[in-house]
Amino acid sequence: MPVSLPRTGPRGRLLATSALLVLALTAVTSCSSSGGSSSADEDPNAKITLTVNLFSDFGYADLYKEYEQAHPNITIKENRADMGAHHQNLHAHLLAGSGTADIEAIEIGQVAGFQPEAGKFVNFLDNGVSKDQWVPSKTAPASSPDGKVLFGLGTDMGGMALCYRSDLFKAAGLPTDREQVAALMKDWPSYLAAGKQFLSASPNKDVRWFDSGGNLFTSILAQAPQGVYDADGKVVVTSNPAVKQSFDLVAGAIKDGESAGIQAFTPAWDTGFQKSQFATVACPAWMSYEFKANPPADGGKWDIARIPGGGGNWGGSYLSVPKSGKHTKAAAELAKWLTAPAQEARLFKEKGYFPSDQELWTQPDIAEHTDPLFNDAPTGKIFSQSARDLSPQPLGAHGAEIGTAIGNALTSIEQGKADPDGAWKQALKDVDNIVN
Amino acid sequence: MAAPTAAARGARAPARPAGRRPAGHRPAGHRRHRLDRTLSPYLYLSPFFLVFGVFGLFPMLYTGYVSFTGWRADRPGSAGDWVGFENYRKLLDDPFFWNAVKNTLGIGVLATVPQLLLALGLAHLLNYRMRGRTLLRLGVLLPNVTSVAAVTLIFVQLFGRDFGLVNWFLSLFGVDHVDWQAGTLSSWTAIAAIVTWRWTGYNALLYLAAMQTVPFELYEAAALDGASRWRQFRSITIPMLRPTILFTVIVSTIGALQLFGEPMLFSQQQDPTTGGSQHQFQTLALYSYNQFWGRFKYGYGAAISWAMFLLIVLVAAVNFLAARRMRGVE
């Protein structure tokens, strides 16, 4: 091998050089290991910036302004990432012990995955928070298994409802009054039967009954006493009959052509709202944002009714304060304030995010709230009813991924890539790959 | 290039063993100068090796270590569980892994072959004398400097099922709406189109640079002999470009095997790392990411990364040997 470096010096010099390199290397790496500063003995009036990492719009902009006015030394900076990426980053940063924001949001489907790491978060029970602010079904998943650590403060929750296009219903000869709609679709089979009726009678043949099979599956399974996990934390996709029953119900509806087959939360889905590609959407409270952002281009009107089958929860989030953050004390205070009943009530009235704080559900200004977006529907009554009817499901570490895998299987039926049998088998393989 | 002098020096060195040299003979200033000459190249090079060591070598070796553990987030305390080759054994009968291998190679071929052929043709055209040549030459690099995310988001719209431009265009020829996300071949084609769009210009510039080194006399002589442009391209340009072609083939192959951003952003599923409803376009990099950061199976995800690395080495070696063999036949 031709050596292109002058070979003049003795060997020792080369060693010295490499030693120098190693020294420099350790200097570089040791720089990066400065952990979170101890915020306990921090000057409470020092100027600080609190970072808040979210995965969608939580509607906090006005609240930040108010908080900054009351605390002139605090500036709040919010970052948003895609939901999947957000949680992956949080896991990665907890693992690394640095890089987390002062406040990190966690979605309910993901929260069980953070339970083993409860010790890496600030325990709100040591910071003057009472669990009684929320129903046990909200606090339990964000607590350590022994219940001694509460690492997430409940923000909103997804009391469920059914959103429907009253103009399209009218054209197809279905009832448009929300009480009559709810009476017609007491449960999911009658909802799907109404869908068939809609498809045959609707003058516009491009409109489907619902947006995507995955979404419908989520809503149906959310009402079962048990989802994909049992109370012992075991995956029960095959042994819990409710999973396969929900799957079959949706698969059948897809075969009947009721699904528009549009993946939720994608640009195509937004287009679907605008171009009236579907007549109903199962909508938890937090979804009203989508209806506001994407009004139908043909001037159609959305209305809202009780969800077939009663209660059920879909989604909702928590705010957490990782111990590796820079200003844990101040961050905990901000998180407490953002999730306090007064702020939660405001978020519902102004943005439509239904509060998880249980005493709000009976407060007149919440329970009697109406939303002009949905033809002045009594959303407060609908969502608080749904929240009270809710029987909490056991959650598990991979609940969100398993749900997505089954949703993918339903998508493959919509795409004509698989029949219901093949799709179910594929889903089971995917679940196995997730769990084992 | 310092190589010739260094080689000459190296050849002379053994003739005069270092030990025999009388000590303290030379002035001190000269020694300092020599020390400077010996040490400074190392110092000049050290930033690269430092950065490579911290961000390249260390992560790679650490990933290698992790791949031998059963570490996963849903089993607290599993970080140190040594499982030997268990993860690799599991890979061998993991249908998702082999599906990812198939997808990666498939998309790789679909993206690389047209891309290099197009680049070759484009470079040939750019080599002509014409007005605004420099501008055009720079222009072909533009797709490459735009971000993957931006490009892919636009292509996702173009390849939309219901309101996509590509489907509208195809419908002019009576082709039914294609659900690009759904099919295996259709999704591969769409992703390959993104890759081709981004990298064709880049490769064209490499070819163009090589074409400029071809002696003009060859073309002159060929033209005098009555060879057509096409004949000149085939018989002069291509053979002279062979080393460059070999280089681009290997570089594009490595790029194709690491394909990540395009399929990830192309996916319209709720979990983009699954690569489609039935993993139609889940590449190896996506699967590794899916297992590592999506499922938090750190040990297994690391094993996939290493398997991917070995596969890249293997394919690059096969490529290299095949290309050399071809030259031998010539």
pLDDT 10s digits, B40-71: 889 999 999 999 999 999 999 999 999 999 99
Q: DSSP letter string over B165-206?
A: HHHHHHHTTTPPPP-TTTSHHHHHHHHHHHHHHHHHHHHHHH
3-class secondary-structure state, position B82: strand
Kindly state the average pLDDT of the residues B143-153: 89
Whether residue A7 and residue B161 make contact (CB cut-off 8 A), yes or no, is no
Contacts of B42 in chain A (CB under 8 A): 17, 21
| Predicted pLDDT at A84 | 83
Tokens of A49: 């910036």
Contacts of B315 (CB under 8 A, 6+ apart): B253, B257
Contacts of A179 (CB under 8 A, 6+ apart): A305
Name the average pLDDT for chain B: 87
Q: Counting one residue from A and one from B, how many pairs have CB atoms under 8 Å apart? A: 131
Q: Is residue B149 predicted with pLDDT exceeding 60?
A: yes
**Band of the pLDDT at A1, cuts 50, 70, 90?**
very low
| Predicted pLDDT at B100 | 96
Whether residue A7 and residue B41 make contact (CB cut-off 8 A), yes or no, is no
Separation between Cα atoms, residue B237 and residue B214, nearest integer Å: 7
3-class secondary-structure state, position B109: helix
State the amino acid at position A225 in one-letter form. P
Whether residue B278 and residue A263 make contact (CB cut-off 8 A), yes or no, is no
How far is CA B107 from each of CA A89, A110, B261, B265, rounded to the nearest angstrom?
28, 33, 13, 15
Q: Is residue B135 predicted with pLDDT exceeding 50?
A: yes
Chain B residue with Cα closest to A212: B269
Phi first, then psi: what are they for A318, rounded to 5°?
-135, 155
Tell me the shortest Cα–Cα distance from B324 to chain A, in angstroms.
21
| Predicted pLDDT at A118 | 93
| Predicted pLDDT at B90 | 95
Tell me the shortest Cα–Cα distance from A111 to chain B, in angstroms.
12
Phi-psi region of A299 (alpha: psi -120 to 50; beta: other; left: phi over 0): left
Give the mutation candidate from A4, A410, A430 for the B interface (greatest B CB count, under 10 A).
A4
Separation between Cα atoms, residue B262 and residue B143, nearest integer Å: 14
- How many C-beta atoms surround the C-beta of residue B307 within 10 A? 21
Q: Is residue A278 predicted with pLDDT exceeding 60?
A: yes
Q: Is residue B301 predicted with pLDDT exceeding 80?
A: yes
pLDDT 10s digits, A79-121: 998 888 899 899 989 988 999 999 999 999 899 989 988 999 9
Tell me the shortest Cα–Cα distance from A210 to chain B, in angstroms.
16
Separation between Cα atoms, residue B18 and residue B32, nearest integer Å: 18
Whether residue A4 and residue B2 make contact (CB cut-off 8 A), yes or no, is yes
Whether A277 contacts A257, CB under 8 Å: no
Separation between Cα atoms, residue B319 and residue A173, nearest integer Å: 66
| Predicted pLDDT at B32 | 80
Separation between Cα atoms, residue B48 and residue B62, nearest integer Å: 20
Tokens of A370: 């109406």
Q: Is residue B83 predicted with pLDDT exceeding 90?
A: yes
* Entry pTM: 0.82
Nearest to A234 by CA among B199, B74, B231, B160: B74
Q: Could you tell me what percent of chain A has a pLDDT over 90?
A: 66
Is residue B293 classed exposed, middle or buried when 0-12, 13-18 and 19+ CB atoms within 10 A define those classes? Answer: buried
How far is CA B92 from each of CA A227, B21, B86, B259, rounded to the nearest angstrom?
32, 61, 10, 21
Chain B residue with Cα closest to A29: B54
Whether A131 contacts A318, CB under 8 Å: no
Kindly state the average pLDDT of the residues B225-234: 89
Whether B201 contacts B140, CB under 8 Å: yes
Whether residue A214 and residue B49 make contact (CB cut-off 8 A), yes or no, is no
Which residue of B2, B46, B269 is in closest CB contact with A24?
B46
Chain A residue with Cα closest to B72: A436
Separation between Cα atoms, residue A3 and residue B168, nearest integer Å: 60
Whether residue B160 and residue A418 make contact (CB cut-off 8 A), yes or no, is no
Kindly state the average pLDDT of the residues A313-317: 88
> What are the beta bridge partners of residue A78?
A52
Q: Which residue has the tokens 């079959």?
A: A248
Kindly state the average pLDDT of the residues B160-169: 91
Q: At what angle do helices B28-52 and A11-31 cross, to 10 degrees?
A: 40
Separation between Cα atoms, residue B195 and residue B108, nearest integer Å: 9
Separation between Cα atoms, residue A259 and residue A191, nearest integer Å: 13
Separation between Cα atoms, residue B181 and residue A263, nearest integer Å: 11
3-class secondary-structure state, position B232: helix
Q: How many residues are given for chain A?
A: 436
Contacts of A251 (CB under 8 A, 6+ apart): A213, A410, A413, A420, A423, A424
Kindly state the average pLDDT of the residues A30-49: 57
Q: Which H or E run includes B220?
A: helix B216-224
Which residue of A20, A91, A433 is in closest CB contact with B96?
A433
Contacts of A354 (CB under 8 A, 6+ apart): A156, A157, A158, A159, A284, A285, A286, A348, A383, A384, A387
3-class secondary-structure state, position A317: strand
ipTM of the complex: 0.79
Give the mutation candidate from A30, A56, A115, A417 for the B interface (greatest B CB count, under 10 A).
A417
Contacts of B53 in chain A (CB under 8 A): 25
Interface membership of B92 toward A (CB under 8 Å): no
| Predicted pLDDT at B28 | 64
Phi-psi region of A233 (alpha: psi -120 to 50; beta: other; left: phi over 0): left
Phi-psi region of A320 (alpha: psi -120 to 50; beta: other; left: phi over 0): beta
Interface membership of B272 toward A (CB under 8 Å): yes
Phi first, then psi: what are they for B16, rounded to 5°?
-125, 90
**Band of the pLDDT at A2, cuts 50, 70, 90?**
very low
Contacts of A112 in chain B (CB under 8 A): none
Interface membership of B93 toward A (CB under 8 Å): no
pLDDT 10s digits, A213-267: 999 999 999 999 899 999 888 999 999 999 999 999 999 999 999 999 998 888 8
Which residue of B35, B156, B270 is in closest CB contact with A407?
B270
3-class secondary-structure state, position A295: coil
pLDDT 10s digits, B246-268: 899 999 999 999 999 999 999 88
More confident residue, A9 or B155: B155
Q: Which H or E run includes A87?
A: helix A83-96
How far is CA B160 from each of CA A211, A213, A336, A341, B84, rounded to the nearest angstrom?
16, 19, 43, 43, 45
Q: Which H or E run includes A175?
A: none
First to last CA, chain B: 31
Chain B residue with Cα closest to A2: B7
Which of A40-44, A385-389, B116-120 comes out lowest in average pLDDT?
Answer: A40-44
Torsional sign, CA A42, A45, A51, A54: positive
HSE, CB side, 13 Å, CA atoms: give it for residue A373.
18
Which residue of B38, B163, B269 is in closest CB contact with A6?
B38
Give the mutation candidate from B278, B281, B287 for the A interface (greatest A CB count, under 10 A).
B278
| Predicted pLDDT at B10 | 40
Contacts of A270 in chain B (CB under 8 A): none
| Predicted pLDDT at A80 | 93
Tokens of B38: 């010996």
Whether residue B6 and residue A265 make contact (CB cut-off 8 A), yes or no, is no
Q: Which H or E run includes A50?
A: strand A48-54
| Predicted pLDDT at A21 | 43
| Predicted pLDDT at A42 | 59
Separation between Cα atoms, residue B109 and residue B120, nearest integer Å: 17
Interface of B with A in 196-235 (CB under 8 A): none
Nearest to A113 by CA among B300, B72, B289, B106: B72
Chain B residue with Cα closest to A406: B277
Which residue of B39, B74, B278 is in closest CB contact with A397?
B74
pLDDT 10s digits, A164-201: 999 999 999 999 999 999 999 999 999 999 999 999 99
3-class secondary-structure state, position A371: strand
Separation between Cα atoms, residue A185 and residue A253, nearest integer Å: 15
Supply the Cα-derived Rg of chain A in whole angstroms.
26
Tell me the shortest Cα–Cα distance from B161 to chain A, in angstroms.
9
Helix %, strand %, coil % for chain A, to 5? 50, 15, 35
Q: DSSP letter string over B300-328?
A: HHHHHHHHHHHHHHHHHHHHHHHHHHHHH
Whether B66 contacts B299, CB under 8 Å: yes
Tell me the shortest Cα–Cα distance from A11 to chain B, in angstroms.
11
> What are the beta bridge partners of residue B53?
none
More confident residue, A388 or B224: B224
Q: Where do the DSSP E strands lie in A321-368?
A: none
